[in-house]
Chain A
Amino acid sequence: MSTPNKISFLAPIKNWLLRNHIWVFFLVVFGAFSLASPYFLTVNNLSNVLTQSAFIGILAIGMTLVMINGEIDLSVGAVLALASALAIGLQDSIGVWPAVFCGLLSGVALGALNGTIIALSGIHSFIVTLGALIGVRGLVFIYTGEDALMVSDFSYTEYPEIYLGPLSITAMIFLGLAFLFQWILTSTRHGREAYSVGDNIEAAHDAGINVKRNKIINFTICGGLAAVAGILLSMRLGTAEPNAGKIWELWTIIAVVLGGVRLTGGYGTLWMTIGGVLTLAVMRNGLRLLSTPNYVELMVMGAVLIMALLLDHFLSGISRKKTS
């Protein structure tokens, strides 16, 4: 039963916080590290954190779209490695920008292939993209000959040095893409359709929505964004390692789920995802500034993930009780 409640100016804020609890969590973590380390709260450090978070961040944008559809893409780390290898490896034969374009194209094509197989066969995306994860990684090893590829034209590594104030071009691309896709989610037909497909696929189909096309588009975007992240990474490092982006798909899923996007589909925004990505990046950075050993860092991150999800569970329990 629901009755119109007393209108309170606090209610919208409370609702927003219940949905975007990750930002509360972020502020707590942020505050804690500001107090714990004198090196944390500096423009230089924060600018670095944002730049470092951009790669997982861009992967997380695509993952969010796919998860809103009620699917998952485990192949993003491998696709990132392939795009990065192609962008560097092809430069000597076809030139810098054509090589970058080929890297991008490989991501788009693999994403479209994943999406098409999933949509047309009905096999669960977990299985299909798990296969892609292994297969694409194999392809990367074959292409690179198991060695890191190096750029020969070092002007390629200068692009990431473009800054607008403290914001690197990499960070700006991440945030720009996040805003763009958040707008697509809330304000376009495609976005609306994506939510309805994830929430109730039968109702979406019966409402005349092309469910298969919607999923294929989202997987294509996810693949394309993975390639963008790969290309930015290759510019930043100047090399393409065959192992680049290994288990990044897991960090990406962790960031998105940490933000509050539901694995079951139909629920989530990029505000949540950005929150998850930044929380993860800040924690990693803070723990390193405190010179925490690597394995302790992993333990802390794992514990925090589970704590954040318990918090989500607890809060959504509150909001459910309120309305039932």
Chain B
Amino acid sequence: MTQNTTLLELQGITKTFPGVKALDNVSLDVKQGEVLALVGENGAGKSTLMKVLAGLYTAEQGSIKYLGKEMQVHSPLDARLKGILLIHQELSLSPELSVAENIYLGAWPTNRFGLLQKRKLRKQTQQALEALGCDFAPDDRVGQLSIARQQMVEIARAQAFNANIVIFDEPTASLTDNEKAQLFETIEDLRSRGKGIIYISHKMDEIFEITDRITILRDGQVQGTKITADTSVDEITRAMIGRDLDTYFHRAKENFGEDVLAIDGLSADGLFSDVSFSVKSGEVLGLYGLVGAGRSEVVETIFGIRKAQSGRIIWKGREISHPTPAEAIELGIALVPESRKEQGLVLGMGGRENITLPHLHFFSTLSVMSKEKELETYEQFQQALDIKTTGPEQPVAKLSGGNQQKFVLAKWLCSSPNLIILDEPTRGIDVGSKSSIHELIANLAEQGLAVIVISSEMPEVLGVSHRVLAMANGRIVGSFSGQNQTEENLISAVSKT
């Protein structure tokens, strides 16, 4: 198969929302048998572009040429039937339906009476699953499959509908390294069969590993398309943010005080066992591990969201047993959770109300709220963290990921905690916000806070921490600092178990 046939060509796509030009004259093309990366900061227009392609939005101007012919996409199902498949970051599957039913969702094979042809459905699904080498059956309930397998279900759709264009939106966000490797093999397989793949990601290492070309978007405009082999991470990053990122990581100066928190032999059935460590004031402790290693569970136990079966939690030399979140906050522990939308923010509320939520007693007398005090605090954090909003009452649902994350941080910093635990603080946010959050972490430690940072991104956890603990299968498998704090050591520690 020739490599040069152009499968898909977008020309001059423009899409405006009231007040914002989300896409401004965007053109790109995908060839047969290539993986095209689409990169850009949050809000650069990647998602909007893909939604145009998948039939969720209609562009005002521009044309989509598919296999040399002009094409209109009317709905996601229409796009799928025409051979374009978008695999969302948050998978869009029905957990109660079977694998086969999900794959053919909305396009189930029916006989002339409109009844489902179950045997045909199962057979076609079986073929698609076999072609991809999946280890689950057409009748399995999707809700029981792991995230990685659910993703394979979506990819099997591409197989079943014989899609020519497959779009992946941040596909590795919740995959372990093994699962990621498998996904890349699948992508390689799709490529070798002449499919065109669009790969959207924030993760530069992945992009340089599997893509052929990179198209960079900034503020709704294409900044250029580069051949992956001929470019560098620096060049791409510069094009994405439009400036140099000279200091990508900031590490706090070492000035440690007393132990703030120590945990000793903490265990919870099936989640983690015999976890011990301590963290001093002024110290940034990194906690590295793959998804499912038990990192989030450990810190949720410290914060009182979960209960431990055994072990001790010692706060400033005093043992605390089974705290509740309210008591943990009272003591001076803050937890910035992994999932902003589920755990971190009340999306219908504005920034002011979100920031003060954990500390209502602090902003009220006899339980009557003082709006003035709240606004004062809001202003202070909005300026200090440079949060972009239209005002204190704008519902946070309408902000970008980076700005939402800053509100989550503000919410927990506002009580001046002694220990702040950050669980994946920069997941899914743009490079510019990332670096300002790294800077903030360093500042907090220099002000004497103890900081625990959980991250799956190795450069991040190595870059910001004074000491890094590696976790695997619910156990601490290594502690690294100074000279030993390297990627090689972390990888070998977590992969030994």
Contact = CB atoms under 8 A, between A and B. Distances in A.
Interface of A: 1-5, 187-193, 195-196, 199-200, 202-210, 266-267, 321-324
Interface in B381-427: 389-390, 394, 398-400, 411
Contact of B353 (A2, A5, A192, A210): A192
B348 A2 contact: no
Contacts of B429: none
Contact of A202 (B19, B326, B343, B349): B343
A206 B325 contact: yes
A208 B349 CA distance: 17
A196 B359 CA distance: 13
B348 A208 contact: no
B343 A189 contact: no
A210 B328 CA distance: 13
| A5, A206, A321, A322: residue with the most chain B Cβ atoms closer than 10 Å | A206
A167 B411 CA distance: 46
Contacts of B324: 208
B335 A206 contact: yes
Contact of B325 (A3, A205, A267): A205
Nearest to B394: A2
Contacts of A188: 364, 367-369
B347 to A, nearest CB: 6
Nearest to B363: A189
Interface of B: 17-20, 22, 43, 303, 305, 324-326, 328-330, 335, 337, 342-349, 353, 356-358, 360-361, 364, 367-369, 371, 389-390, 394, 398-400, 411
Given A195-B349, A196-B349, A203-B343, A2 B360 contact: no
Majority DSSP secondary structure for residues of B touching A: mixed
Given A1-B22, A188-B364, A200 B335 contact: no
A50 B279 CA distance: 64
B17 A5 contact: no
B364 A207 contact: no
Contacts of B399: 2
Contacts of A202: 342-343
A313 B43 CA distance: 27
Contacts of A203: 342-346, 357
Contacts of B330: 208
Contact of B360 (A193, A267, A322): A193
B325 A207 contact: yes
Select the residue from B22, B325, B357, B398 with max chain A CB neighbours within 10 A.
B357
B326 A189 contact: no
A208 B342 contact: no
A3 B19 contact: yes
A192 B356 CA distance: 10
Contacts of A205: 305, 325
Contact of A196 (B43, B303, B346, B364): B346
A189 B346 contact: no
Contact of B398 (A189, A190, A324): A324
Given A1-B17, A204-B357, A206-B335, A266 B367 contact: no
Query: Which of A187, A188, A203 is the most central at the interface, judged by chain B CB atoms within 10 Å of its CB?
Result: A203
A192 B360 contact: yes
A5 B342 contact: no
B341 to A, nearest CB: 8
Contact of A208 (B22, B326, B337): B326
B369 A187 contact: yes
A145 to B, nearest CB: 44
A199 B20 contact: no
Contacts of B347: 199-200
A322 B390 CA distance: 14
A29 B161 CA distance: 53
A1 B43 contact: yes
A184 B358 CA distance: 18
Contacts of A204: 346, 357
A192 B346 CA distance: 11
Contact of B329 (A195, A199, A208): A208
14 contacts: A1-B17, A189-B360, A192-B353, A193-B360, A199-B346, A199-B349, A200-B345, A203-B343, A203-B357, A206-B325, A207-B325, A266-B348, A267-B348, A321-B17
A86 to B, nearest CB: 31
B91 to A, nearest CB: 20
A179 to B, nearest CB: 15
Contact of A189 (B19, B22, B361): B361
B346 A195 contact: yes
Most chain A beta-carbon neighbours within 10 Å: one of B324, B348, B411: B348
B392 to A, nearest CB: 13
B343 A208 contact: no
A261 to B, nearest CB: 13
Contacts of B348: 195, 199-200, 266-267
A304 B329 CA distance: 48
B151 to A, nearest CB: 24
Contacts of B394: 2
B369 A192 contact: yes
A1 B346 contact: no
A208 B18 contact: no
